[in-house]
Amino acid sequence: MRTIKNLFLIVISLFAAQFAHAQTGSMKDPVSFKLKNGLTIIVAQNTGISKVYANFKSEDDAVKEAEQEGLQNLVTDLFSASEKETNGKINEVKAYNSNQIDLSKAYLTIAGNITPSAAKAIAQKAFGDWKGNTTTESSK
């Protein structure tokens, strides 16, 4: 009976140690900023993981689901593909969506092992010159 109790305590200790290790404050408070074109960038730095994840979302009702999916694929590639491949895709998407998306209603969320300054530099380089659609419902 004592062996079972000791084994149980060892197992509980291992789980507690694993849980405590997983909760080691590697996640920083999110930081948000806007590019000059109105695109909102939200960065959640997490040094506890090795990858960077990104998501693009527009709250503009005029943006079709297929267009959002294409933008999402671009954003994913932005943080995983080579710069040459990504630049070509960015230009294609900007050209196609230049009059479709109101960037003041769009969000680029970046999470993972990336500093806010590095994320800002990438976002600025990729999307900083994108004008988008500046027409809002109230001005129609």
Provide DSSP, 10-75.
HHHHHHHHHHHHHTSS-BPPPEEEE-TTS-EEEEEEBTTSS-EEEEEEE--TTS-HHHHHHHHHHH
The whole-number pLDDT of residue 71 equals 72
pLDDT in tens, 125-137: 888 888 777 654 4
Burial class (CB in 10 A: 0-12, 13-18, 19+), 75: buried
Segment 95-107 mean pLDDT: 76
**Mean pLDDT to the nearest integer, 100-129:** 88
Q: Per residue in 26-84, pLDDT tens? A: 888 899 999 998 999 999 999 888 888 888 887 876 666 666 676 777 777 777 666 66
